[in-house]
Structure 1
Amino acid sequence: MRRFLALLALLGGAAPALVVPLRGWTPIAGDASRWQGGGGECLIREMRHTQPFPAMPTQQRATAVANRLRASLGKAGMGEVTTQPVDRGAAWAVLAGYVYEEAGARYRVSQLYLSEGGRLRTVSASSAVGTVSPCAASMRDFIRYQAQ
């Protein structure tokens, strides 16, 4: 997997509506692909990319992708990188966790990499490093267990 996969997931793009079943969470500016909770302390964003991303029908395939993604994120300068395959029923996805730094601020990110119609789709959750708001735990649980 190429290094730009990780960077592409951080860039903006058009995305259809995402349902975030978390109490008190609202779409940002009416855009149902971007949600905020905890008074803006926590953000969830869904993005659909044009980049090919084949389905992962087995845990072994998802593990291989997770390992390549971990290396790519590390090379892209992300800190505290972890990746793991996650079961999503009919297929597998990859869950990544890392710390991203921008303009002197550090953000903890949980990001789910999915294949949808052979294209990359990501669902990302982020909050400032050190955020103790209950929204941080609930959004990470949503990404890890519910987002599809």
Structure 2
Amino acid sequence: MPLRGWTPIAGDASRWQGGGGECLIRETRHTQAFPPLATQQAATGMANRLRVSLGKAGLGEVTTQPVDRDTTWAVLAGYVYEEGGARYRVSQLYLSDGGKLRTVSGSSAAGTDSPCTAGMREFIRYQAE
């Protein structure tokens, strides 16, 4: 369980909701190669490439930064996307898991000040591994 009081969605241990469904966290394991980021410099380079890629994908307000994970580095991205006329703010952590990409994504409606958003973003930024 990512956060106290959060519940799995339909019994799926990779998808969680908090704040009565106002915030969502999803972990996704990809088949795409993603070598470990051993240095801050490598993570910064990946963050810069990711920022360009997400911008080209049409996402708004894109930010990226390297984040320290004890013995390795990860990349944290933030962006806004639109779907069905609604805007969502996303925090997404990109990690190497055995040389494959794993993401931990948190989302909530853009402009929402739900109490779950700060805890969700803090979890993704500092605790998700």
Same fold (TM over 0.5): yes
CA distance in 2, matches of 1:105, 1:54: 34
Aligned partner letter, 1:86: V
- 1:1-148 mapped onto 2 (5 Å cutoff): 19-20=1-2, 22-148=3-129
Secondary structure of the structure 1 residue equivalent to 2:58: coil
Structure 2 Cα separation of the partners of residues 46 and 124 of structure 1: 6
Runs of 4+ in 1 over 3 A off after TM superposition: none
More strand by share: 2
Stretches of structure 2 lacking an aligned partner (at least 5 in a row): none
**TM-score, normalising length: structure 2:** 0.98
- Relative contact order (C-alpha < 8 Å, sep 6+): which is higher? 2
Deviation of 1:31 (Å):
0.5
Q: Distance in 2 between matches of 1:119 and 1:106?
A: 29
Question: What is the deviation of 1:23?
Answer: 2.1
Q: CA RMSD in A?
A: 0.6
Instruction: Please list every run of 5 or more consecutive structure 1 residues that lacks an aligned counterpart in the other structure.
Output: 1-18
**How many residue pairs were aligned?**
129
SS of residue matched to 1:94: strand
How far residue 40 of structure 1 moved from its aligned partner, in angstroms, is: 0.2
- Identical-residue share of aligned pairs (%): 81
In structure 2, C-alpha distance between the alignment counterparts of 1:117 and 1:100, rounded to whole Å:
29
> SS of the counterpart of 2:31?
strand
Determine the C-alpha separation between the residues in 1 that align with 2:112 and 2:14.
Answer: 22
Hey, what's the Cα distance between the residues in 2 that align with 1:84 and 1:112?
Answer: 10
